Structure 1
Amino acid sequence: MDLLTFEFFQRALIGGALIAITAPLMGLFLVLRRLAMIGDTLAHVSIAGVALGFLINVYPVVVGLAFAIAASFAIEFIRRAYRTYAELSLAIIMSGGIGLASILFTMGKGFNLDVISYLFGNIYTLNQVDIGVIGAITVVVLALVLLHKKELFLLTFDEDAAAVSGLPVKYFNIMLSILTALVISASIKTVGALLVSALLTVPAACGLTLARSFKQAVVLVVVIGEVAVLAGLWIAGVANLAPGGTIVLLLISVLIASMLFRRLRGA
């Protein structure tokens, strides 16, 4: 219980709890639309932005966010240009992000250790500004998802039908991409760019394994995300482990348990 008396751990719990709402929620939409790898793509581009932020002495998360949003527009443009090979957009943008990040790393040798903390995550270093940014992103994501829940449901399960019904598909695709970019930019300091896709996809996999409806899946992904993040933080704090890695391994453990439960339930 002594951990709860430390301000850095309190901030970690708050930031983690907020990210555990938005990341799994956005991940569910991405997984259902077969765009699960967009998390890795935008995370790598965000790291390039973080590196540039350190280089020009600007708040790194903001620059990373700008890069991720720009990448989300580029992904949507390429995805529409190559509709038959939509995954090309992710491969192209990810390659560009990694290439740019490597160049910026060589230009800023003095801040490479700081950038590494964004690669693997260090939730214990969250400050009040970080909490404010994460909180604002959480409010924006939840507000837009709740406001457009019917449209997003239709777009997720049948994009062609959504277009035929008159839904502005391009607008909602861009909106989802930008919301994903916002969540990833907020998440990279929590679990790190290399692990952020797990926070997007693993709770979604668990929810889809256990849920009997889309509404159940929405609730389950958020609950699973919250349990994994908060329990992972506690275990990491007590055992002196890396918090990002602990959260991801706990999520995978939950996924294995979910699959076993589904098999037993179906038997």
Structure 2
Amino acid sequence: MEILETEFMQRALLAALLVGITAPAVGIHLVQRRQALMGDGIGHVAMTGVGLGFLLSVNPVWVATLVSVLGAVLMELIRAYGRTRGDIALALLFYGGMAGGVMLVNLSDTGSTANLSSFLFGSLSTVSQEDLTAISILAGFVVLVSLGLRKQLFAISQDEEFARVTGLPVRALNLLIAVTAAVTVSVAMRVVGLLLVSALMVVPVAAAQQVTRSFRATFALAVGIGVAVALTGTSTSYYQDVPPGATIILLAIAVFLVLTALALPLARLRATPAAGDAECTVGMPGTRRPSDDVKV
């Protein structure tokens, strides 16, 4: 295939594959916790890391990871302890992160409008071998956390109070979700872009929820959708010379609309669950039931 003959597209497709896996894997927990826009906030904060990377002549992926992790931890602490002024503090953090990134990029010798645009909206040609190495390492961390702690993360995403009663370290797990989300933003920014990464974390999960009933099925289908739209969007971007990030997100939204249209007919065809069925649903708000279906 022509698309696989060029090295930069091989790197771009592999990066897209990793992004398609990691974004929905983390996004499912954010959606369940009603924190769908958290990725967008982290993306704003990560801009400061990108600018700092340019200023220090260091790979922006690593610096953005460090800064976004610090920002995500601060966001989680504000969420947990902030009261009347919590929303204002978050707004200052988001806008300050974006403004700081733009300023640092302009102050650096290596930064430019073109470089900044590639991080904001994604770019196929800018995924270097060094970037791919960083993305692979970070994606490995996200997958390890998502699968290794799937039961614990499921528990706190469904009911924090119940998880606390059972003895789970809720505060530490909440911080871990925030850190994992921050790492995911850094993984995805080269392909999807910082301004669109939140959509890839949320839309595939929302699409999967339309036709699935269990956490396990939603997780699997969301990751499948994420991989499909990431690879298809990247390939389309190559052949049609369109922005990869926007293409990927528009495809994800198209999948959401199709599955939403199919949801009602499928619901009518689906057999009524048996009285003893203890499966947990993760559909739209109000459809969840207590269950032991935490194995994903």
C-alpha distance in structure 2 between counterparts of 1:103 and 1:243, whole Å: 25
Are 1:11 and 1:124, in contact at CA under 8 Å, matched by a contact in 2? no
Name 1:178's counterpart in structure 2: 179
Deviation at 1:84, TM superposition (A): 7.9
Structure 2: which 5+ residue stretches go unaligned?
A: 269-296
Name 2:28's counterpart in structure 1: 28
Between the aligned residues of both structures, percent identity stands at 36
C-alpha distance in structure 1 between counterparts of 2:116 and 2:137, whole Å: 23
Are 2:118 and 2:126, in contact at CA under 8 Å, matched by a contact in 1? no
Deviation at 1:105, TM superposition (A): 4.1
Deviation at 1:87, TM superposition (A): 5.5
Deviation at 1:209, TM superposition (A): 1.2
Deviation at 1:157, TM superposition (A): 0.2
| Structure with the greater alpha carbon radius of gyration | 2
Name 2:118's counterpart in structure 1: 117
Q: 1:262 and 2:253 equivalent?
A: no
Are 1:49 and 1:67, in contact at CA under 8 Å, matched by a contact in 2? yes
Name 1:46's counterpart in structure 2: 46
SS at match of 1:124: coil
Name 1:2's counterpart in structure 2: 2
Name 1:207's counterpart in structure 2: 208
**TM-score with structure 2 length normalisation?**
0.85
Distance change in 2, residues 1:106/1:183 (3 Å): same
Are 1:65 and 1:185, in contact at CA under 8 Å, matched by a contact in 2? yes
C-alpha distance in structure 1 between counterparts of 2:198 and 2:265, whole Å: 28
C-alpha distance in structure 2 between counterparts of 1:202 and 1:55, whole Å: 34
Pairing of 1:158-237 with structure 2 (within 5 A): 158-237=159-238
Please provide the CA RMSD for this pair: 1.8
Deviation at 1:95, TM superposition (A): 2.3
Distance change in 2, residues 1:9/1:62 (3 Å): same
Deviation at 1:141, TM superposition (A): 1.4
What's the CA shift string for 1:175-202, capped at 9, x where partnerless? 1111111110111111111111111111
Name 2:286's counterpart in structure 1: none
Name 1:82's counterpart in structure 2: 82
Distance change in 2, residues 1:255/1:87 (3 Å): farther
More divergent stretch after superposition (112-121 vs 199-208): 112-121
Name 1:98's counterpart in structure 2: 98
Deviation at 1:241, TM superposition (A): 1.4
C-alpha distance in structure 2 between counterparts of 1:57 and 1:109, whole Å: 9
What's the CA shift string for 1:104-157, capped at 9, x where partnerless? 244347612212210111133212111111111122112122221111111000
Letter of the 1:176 partner, please give it.
Answer: I
Letter of the 2:174 partner, please give it.
Answer: N
Are 1:191 and 1:244, in contact at CA under 8 Å, matched by a contact in 2? yes
Pairing of 1:139-154 with structure 2 (within 5 A): 139-154=140-155
Distance change in 2, residues 1:2/1:112 (3 Å): same
Deviation at 1:96, TM superposition (A): 2.4
**TM-score with structure 1 length normalisation?**
0.94
Are 1:38 and 1:90, in contact at CA under 8 Å, matched by a contact in 2? no
Deviation at 1:67, TM superposition (A): 0.7
Distance change in 2, residues 1:101/1:13 (3 Å): same
Letter of the 2:194 partner, please give it.
Answer: A
How many residues are paired up?
267
C-alpha distance in structure 1 between counterparts of 2:134 and 2:89, whole Å: 28
Q: 1:13 and 2:13 equivalent?
A: yes
Structure 1: which 5+ residue stretches go unaligned?
A: none
SS at match of 2:210: helix
Bigger helix fraction: 1
Letter of the 1:228 partner, please give it.
Answer: V
